[in-house]
Amino acid sequence: MAETPHPISALDLAVEQAAGGQVDVSAAGLAGGGRRALTYEEALARLDEAEDTLRAIGVGEIDAFVVSDGSSEPRVYTLFTADRPYRRFVENMRDGAATLSPMGVILYANRRLADLLSCPPAELLGSELAAFMSHDVVVDWESLMGPQGHGTTIELDLFDAHGRTIPVLVGVSPMGEDDDRNTCLTFTDLSSQKAQDQEIVRLSQAQADRLSDLQAAQAALTRQATHDALTGLANRDLLVDRIDQALRQGARTGDCAAVLFIDLDRFKQINVTQGHAVGNRVLEEVADRLLATLRDMDTVARLGGDEFAVLAPVVSNHHDAMEMAARLVREVARCRGATGEVLSASIGISISDGGRGSAELMLHEAETAMYRAKSLGGARSASFDRALADEVRARASAQDTLRTALDERRVVPYYQPILNLASGAIAGFEALARLVQVDGSVLAPAAFIAVAEDSGLVLPLGTQVLEQACLQGSLWQEYSRWDNGFAVAVNVSSRQLQPGDFASVVRDILSNTGLAPQRLHLELTETAIMDLHPEILRQLSRIREYGAQIGLDDFGTGYASLTHLRRLPLDFVKVDRSFVQGLGTDAGDERIVGAVIDLVHNLGLRSIAEGVETTKQLDRLRELGCDQAQGYLFAPPAPAEELLLGGYELPSAQR
């Protein structure tokens, strides 16, 4: 197909086409007709076609004509105009483009704008741009030219023919110097960008929410790790950290810091008699009162159970710490149990001058001082001083001595006989622990039992004494001079009933030593069974099932009640020596001893009196119907070998 290099007049072509000339002319892309004469109707149709062609040429829709006379190949005539490249550029822009009159009428719109607004181009021409905008938005396009007349950009929301919102960035600029104040607009579709921005915002918010949740969870875990769950107070770990901080500050400034160790007196009784729920409410009230009494800079902590501690990071002197402790004692005394009983607290104080010591040392000193206050009757405070430090060192030395003696098996049982008062026969022996020192001297229980209880060494001590007593009892159990009910009695500490499984320990020792289970009598102190925990009752019941007997020692001096006597699996009760000593001289003691013996017998239990030292006491016990007795009147505690070698002369029992 040949292309003519020179332009052809569009008007001539249109006229020739309308007149039905011999040359067949058609716009590019439109089929031309054959060479023949035209009727009138066909001429009118050709005229209409010519008008459409002129309009298409005017708006730039036709770029070339194809001319064919039927005798040669068709020829293509290209329309060359000055603005043709720019019109093609505008038509093929990625952005929408339009020309706007001063009245806001669209004079021109490219295909991209038509596609953007889902509206045919012919319908856009002559329409007001405001028809595609919200009624609430009024734009003065001329004012957007700015003082220099260079134009600007703004963001708008347009609405397409279907009512969908199209966010666009509109570029506003003048048409040119020769234009009659028309405005050139470009429209950049921001839908994808807005969607991306919204997604970024959503993701950012989701990330922020997740971060907030993580921070909240971390804060909750941190609080859980550093605070007491019941009272909300600081726990031991947080307290230790703050004490260390106070000591570092004191090392720089020379200030004094004080730690107060607080223990509620007889709090266990509230849990036992009123239940743990009441006990928890009391602990919460105590915590609230401590917080209300102290300064903001002070730290109140719950260490566990009924133990609290206070850090005063700055105190002027020892007197200030004592005054603080006195206030706390008075404040705790304002708390009440469910039945109205008054609470009290024992408080120990440790002072650090200029950062002396460590957190653990201060807590240890304060706790030691607290025990001093408790030993003085409670409801008071005591300070850790030089005398108490000497006592602590002595106790530490005693612990070392006891630990070494246990390792070397120098803790041995001495035996004191228990007699049947009716027959005078030996019913058995009570095994009483003694510590044999390296030089051969012997320490009585008063010298080491308290240390053993405090340090936890009472566990290996109790096991050693039980093993040796059962082994000795297995050698004695066939001795003809003993009563048929002969037994070995061994004391049991409250510590032995708490951890592990004491019942299994008893079973294994009986099996290893060969002692008949019924010949083992275990004696519990009243403090050992003050808390009738189900686990303790379970262990005692198992021991009874093995065949061993269980008794209550020192009855009348502790916290035992009829509830204990009824619920515990007991076989015998021992009347405390403090009441036995008054027999024959103190009517009150006689009434108490008589009442206890009657109570024990009514419960079907055996009565044993301890601490018998005179024949008058012995006679009176017989009159009151006591079953058995022991004491220095018969024999003092002695090693097993002395019992076997010398035997016993028991004249007071031979009646």
Q: Give pLDDT, residue 570.
A: 92
Q: Give pLDDT, residue 284.
A: 94
From residue 529, how far is each of 268, 465, 546, 550 by CA, in Å?
12, 20, 20, 12
Q: Give pLDDT, residue 594.
A: 93
- Read off the pLDDT of residues 513-530 as tens digits, 9 standing for 90 and up: 999 999 999 998 766 666
Chain length of the chain: 655
Q: pLDDT under 50 in the chain at which residues?
A: 1-35, 645-655
Beta carbons of 571 and 606 less than 8 angstroms apart? yes
| Residue 314 DSSP code | E
Q: Copy the structure tokens of residue 565.
A: 């006597």
Residue 276 three-state SS: helix
Q: Give pLDDT, residue 628.
A: 95
pTM value is 0.54
In 3D space, the residue among 458, 485, 459 whose CA is nearest the CA of residue 473 turns out to be 485
In 3D space, the residue among 313, 319, 312 whose CA is nearest the CA of residue 262 turns out to be 312
Q: Give pLDDT, residue 241.
A: 95
Quickly list H helices, 314-457.
318-332, 359-375, 386-407, 449-455
Q: Give pLDDT, residue 306.
A: 93
Domains of the chain by range and CATH?
A: 2-78 (no CATH), 84-189 (3.30.450.20), 236-384 (3.30.70.270), 411-644 (3.20.20.450)
- Read off the pLDDT of residues 3-23 as tens digits, 9 standing for 90 and up: 333 333 433 444 343 333 333
Ramachandran angles phi, psi of 546, nearest 5° = -70, -20
Q: Give pLDDT, residue 477.
A: 82
AA letter at 612: V
Q: Give pLDDT, residue 580.
A: 93
Element at 352 (helix H, strand E): strand 345-353
From CA 573, how far away is CA 600, in angstroms rounded? Answer: 7
CA angle 285–286–291, rounded 5-degree value: 100
